[in-house]
A = this chain, B = another copy of it.
Amino acid sequence: MRVGIIGFGKTGRAVASVLLESHQTVLQWVVRRSRRLEHRSVPEFLGIESTETQPGLIYSKDEYSIDEILDLYPVDVIVDFSSEDGLNYYGDSAAKRGITIVSAVSQYPQEQLQKLKQLAQQTVVMHSPNITLGINFMMIAAKILKNIAPYTDIEIIEEHFKGKPEISGTAKILAHELGLPEENIKTVRAGGIVGVHEILFGFPYQTVRLKHESITREAFGNGILFAIQNLQEKPRGFYTMENLLLPYFKLQDSVEDIINTDHKLLDQV
């Protein structure tokens, strides 16, 4: 899969390094707003020894239009880690060419979200404000547990580095999805903590905790790889990370098989 990245901030760089190291993707180019780093090679800049034949250069928006870039270096997927208006640069061209769009922009205003959905009539579009596998798995699992035990008290604890302002956007989404008011989010800010989200279920005589800890921003890269794989062969339309994960919760054959071995175990124990 040939991939282009829009945006080259801290997260964009981390994702680029995961894509460069994956055998399933070829990083064709990065486009960013700033002209700094123009024409530098991404693997060289990131200090990664890449066997990719494509140089994977960095361009700025001002220098070339997306069509000029795509004509020279076509891609199958555009991954967007820029900001809410990144879409204006590449959206229409990508849709027209049938390129899959994966946007991890954390917040869109109403009109941009509408725009994204219109593009989804022409091509495969995915958008998720938090693109890590762990957080998205936890969100679905938590909804299920709430369904099983609706009488439990649920609290969300999130920990981040001292400078992070306000409540984490991910914690807000978790709370919203679980039907909790924001008061149930407890916000811890200390030192250089990268990011911890915990969902605590309090039963009368037991607790269940689902806890996600980010080690580095590269965690987003694995989420992107998962998305790219699972969007392949999908019909055009609008998807979320949750949509891609849900089929795994339907417990396909392989899982049901494991479950049916229960009693073999019991026989042996």
Q: Which residues of A contact B (CB under 8 A)?
A: 107-108, 110, 113, 127, 129, 132-134, 137-138, 140-141, 143-145, 147-149, 152-155, 157, 159, 161-162, 169, 172-173, 176-177, 179, 186-194, 200-219, 221-222, 226, 240, 242, 245-246, 248-252, 254-255, 258-259, 261-263, 265-267, 269
Contact = CB atoms under 8 A, between A and B. Distances in A.
Nearest to A154: B190
Contact of A255 (B132, B143, B204): B143
B193 A138 contact: no
A19 to B, nearest CB: 13
A211 B209 contact: yes
Given A148-B245, A248-B147, A191 B162 contact: no
- Rank and list the top 4 A-B pairs by shortest CB-CB distance, nearest first: A190-B202, A191-B202, A153-B190, A205-B219
Given A113-B266, A147-B254, 4 more contacts: A155-B189, A191-B206, A191-B215, A205-B221
Given A157-B157, A262-B242, A205 B192 contact: yes
Given A190-B153, A192-B215, A193-B215, A147 B205 contact: no
A213 B208 CA distance: 7
A134 B203 contact: yes
Contact of A206 (B154, B213, B258): B213
A193 B188 contact: no
Given A147-B255, A173-B265, A269-B172, A208 B210 contact: yes
Given A137-B148, A186-B157, A205 B193 contact: no
Contact of A222 (B177, B204, B210): B204
A132 to B, nearest CB: 6
A176 B248 contact: no
